[in-house]
Copies of this chain bind each other. A is one copy, B any other.
Amino acid sequence: MKTAFIGLGAMGYPMAGHVSKSHEMIVWNRTTAVAERHAGEYGTRMAADVADCAAADVIFSCLPTSREIDSVVDALAGRLRKGQLWIDNTSGDPESARETACRLAGLGVEYVDAPVTGGTNGAAAGTLTVMVGGSKEGFARALPLIELFGKKIVHVGAVGSGHAIKAMNNVMLAANIWVAGECLLSLKKMGMDLSVAFEVLNAGSGRSFASESLLPPRLVEGKWPLAFKLALLDKDVRIAAETVHEQHLSTPVMNLVSNLYTAARRDLGENADYIEVLKYMAKMSGEGWEG
C-alpha cells in the first residue's frame, strides 16, 4: 500500500518509521533536513512538496495543532481522490476534526482522528495507545495500519472522539501534576525528604502516573529534560476547556488548571517542558525545588 506521513516530530518520526517497514512511504516535514534523515534511516522517499503526499492511498498526519492540519488539507485538497484514507495522529480539537472529516468526505476521502499517548519511548517501541474517532468502516480500514505502531488501539466513537478523549487524558495529566506539586512543595517546606515522600505517596491512594513516573526524576534527581512542550499541553487542556464550555458543564477544577497552565506557559516560554509548571507553581509561593 502506498502511504504518506506528514509531520516527523518527536512522535511522528518513529511512528512513520514503523509503518514504512511494511508499506511504501513518502514523507514530508516542515524542516526538510528531518525528512532527509528519515529517508536515509528508513528508506522512505522525501516529498518535494507537501501536496505530493496526495498520491498515497493512506495519508498519516501528526502535526502540532488542528490549524496545521487545515493548512495541509488546503494544500492537498486539489489532488485528493475517492477511496483514500486519512489517519490524523495530531492531538487536535474535536470540532475541527468534524469539519475536516466533512470536507474530506465531500472528496470521497475517509478521515479518522487517531491521537496517541505513550511518549517518545512508546513511539520508538511501537507500543503506543491510540484512541480512534471515526466510522466503523474507517476504524476497520485504519486498524491494521495503526497496529504497526500501536499496542492498545481503541475505537472510542464518532469522528472527533479520539481528540476529545486525548484532550481529557491530558487534563487529568495536567491536574494530577499540579496538585501533586502543591502537596510536595508543602512537604518539602516542612523539611521532608522528597524521595521519602514519593516512597509513601506512591504506595498510597493519591498516586498517579504523574507522581510515579514523571515527578520523581525532576524533583528528586533534579533532571528536567524536555519531553513534551508545555505549550502543547496548554493547547490540549484548552481544547478540553472549549469542549466543556460548549457542553455547558460546570468544571471548576479543569478551568482553574487551564488558567494556571496558560500563566505558566506565559512565564516559562514556548519551549519549556510541561513538568516545568512545577517551577512556576513554586515561584507563586516564593519557593523553589532545589536543595
Contact = CB atoms under 8 A, between A and B. Distances in A.
Given A203-B152, A204-B117, A190 B161 contact: yes
A169 to B, nearest CB: 4
Given A205-B214, A249-B262, A255-B259, 12 more contacts: A119-B205, A156-B197, A161-B192, A168-B186, A168-B206, A172-B183, A173-B205, A207-B209, A250-B284, A251-B259, A255-B258, A262-B285
A168 B207 CA distance: 11
Nearest to A265: B286
Contacts of A266: 250, 283-286
10 contacts: A154-B199, A154-B200, A156-B196, A157-B191, A186-B243, A207-B209, A248-B262, A250-B266, A266-B285, A267-B283
A130 to B, nearest CB: 9
A48 interface: no
A280 to B, nearest CB: 10
A172 B161 contact: no
A197 B244 CA distance: 16
Given A157-B192, A208-B207, A256-B253, A179 B172 contact: yes
As for how many copies of this chain the complex holds, the number is 4
Interface string A194-226: 001101110111111111001000000000000
Interface residues of A, number: 83
A3 interface: no
Nearest to A228: B205
A135 to B, nearest CB: 14
